[in-house]
Amino acid sequence: MWMSRIKVALIGVGNCASALVQGVYHYGDVEKEEEAIGLRHLYLGGYHPRDIEFVSAFDIEARKVGKDLSEAIFSSPNNTLKFADLPKMNVPVWKGPVLDGVGEYLRNVIKISESPEVDVAQKLEESDADLVLNLLPSGAVKASRQYAEEALKAGCAFVNAAPTFVASDAAWGKRFKEAGLPVVGDDLVDQVGATILHKTLLKMLADRGVRVSETYQLDVGGGTESLNTLERARDVKRVMKTKSVEFALPYKALVVAGSTDYVDFLENRRDSYFWVKGFYFGGTPLHLDIRLNTVDAPNAGSVLFDVLRGVKIALDRGIAGPLLSLSAYAFKHPPQMFQLEMAEHWFEEFIHGERER
């Protein structure tokens, strides 16, 4: 059966956008699951990554605005890995609203374009976008919600990868439901990021009879997202990540999870540190220290491929409002939290049409 294209509008042409766009071309010719190294699903609901088409993009950076998307994703201050060669895409990057998109720490890093702001809803309609993917930085609360408004105006679904309450806010969920549009979020979980690893580790220990009493997970990273988080979203990120990690344990424990500091020369790399204290047989003490090193941007790619295709499936089926299973599967702060196994099971049921949302 012929599958329609998944027409995506990008909000924020940063490192995550760079990895995502490159990924579509990197996996475009892959046909076999065993050859799709780094992907959870090569095909999902009949959709392949090459079915994702970027039709419009918005940013405020002078070195990106006005450029073709294929060029803008490699423009400063982006500094993630380049792993795919791209053709010209004929998708210009438009100047979006600034609002609270740039914090004090980034004012010496970001060069705000002097181009006039475009009518975002109009551009979304002109590009025939199916869904809007919000990749704005931490702390851009007003800007994220403004783009959610523009998505509603243009009749687009909304994917909120940023740590701003949209999908998990009942009022926003109601508005998208009434508009007949899906919404998912909030705050994307990385493929092999600190949150998912921490949750999996704690669950494994609890399942093996270990009583975890104290645990923390702290990050040190480079790049604009880490700098922005340090200034403006450290507390919000800590709340979201801590609640998500706490849910992995069937009992109360002292849990702290969140970003801590910025190191410029790490660029788009991140070091995550895990510490666990607990007790096993006979009350014997256990201490665990782990360090994980990753490149930030590609960590979002596989999960976003699943999210974009999942939202398109919802659009195909006429499903509106918060997508509970998809949000719990792919985000740290979904409208409703589920244990990992349940979230993944419900996500698979949704994809196969066995669960409404």
Q: How confident is the model at residue 238 (pLDDT cuts 50, 70, 90)?
A: confident
- At a CB cut-off of 8 Å and minimum separation 6, what does 156 contact? 9, 124, 129, 130, 131, 132, 181
> Pairing mode, if any, of strands 182-185 and 211-221?
unpaired
Whether residue 357 is contained in a domain is answered as no
Q: How confident is the model at residue 233 (pLDDT cuts 50, 70, 90)?
A: low
Q: Are residues 141 and 273 in the same domain?
A: no
Assign 302 to helix, strand or coil: helix
* pTM, rounded to two decimals: 0.90
Assign 279 to helix, strand or coil: strand
Distance CA 9, CA 52 (A): 11
Whether residue 75 is contained in a domain is answered as yes
pLDDT tens, position by position, 26-66: 999 999 999 999 999 999 999 999 999 999 999 999 999 99
What was the pLDDT predicted at 6?
98
What was the pLDDT predicted at 39?
96
What percent of the chain is predicted at pLDDT more than 90?
Answer: 80
pLDDT tens, position by position, 146-161: 999 999 999 999 999 9
Whether residue 130 is contained in a domain is answered as yes
What was the pLDDT predicted at 108?
77
Q: Are residues 184 and 84 in the same domain?
A: yes
On whether the CB atoms of residues 311 and 131 are closer than 8 A, the answer is yes
pLDDT tens, position by position, 267-314: 899 999 999 999 999 999 999 999 999 999 999 999 999 999 999 999
Which CATH number does the domain housing residue 10 bear? 3.40.50.720
What was the pLDDT predicted at 71?
98
What percent of the chain is predicted at pLDDT more than 70?
Answer: 97
Which residue, of 248, 266, 295, is where some domain finishes?
A: 295
Q: Are residues 271 and 325 in the same domain?
A: no
Distance CA 325, CA 246 (A): 19
Cα angle 43, 203, 332; round to 5 = 55
Whether residue 356 is contained in a domain is answered as no
**Order of strands across the sheet with 52-59?**
93-95, 52-59, 6-11, 131-134, 157-160, 182-185, 321-322
Q: Are residues 154 and 270 in the same domain?
A: no
Q: Residue 202 sits in which domain range?
A: 194-295
Whether residue 246 is contained in a domain is answered as yes
Backbone angles phi, psi at 16, to 5 degrees: -65, -40
Distance CA 109, CA 338 (A): 39
Residue 128: cis peptide before it, omega within 30 degrees of 0? no
Other beta carbons within 10 angstroms of residue 117's beta carbon come to 13
Averaged confidence pLDDT in the chain: 93
State the DSSP H helix or E strand holding residue 343, giving kind and residue range, or none if neither.
Answer: helix 340-351
- State mean pLDDT over 170-185: 98
Tell me which residue has tokens 């998500």: 244
Distance CA 88, CA 135 (A): 22
What was the pLDDT predicted at 105?
67
Number of domains in the chain: 2
> What burial class does residue 318 get, using C-beta atoms within 10 Å of its C-beta: 0-12 exposed, 13-18 middle, 19+ buried?
exposed
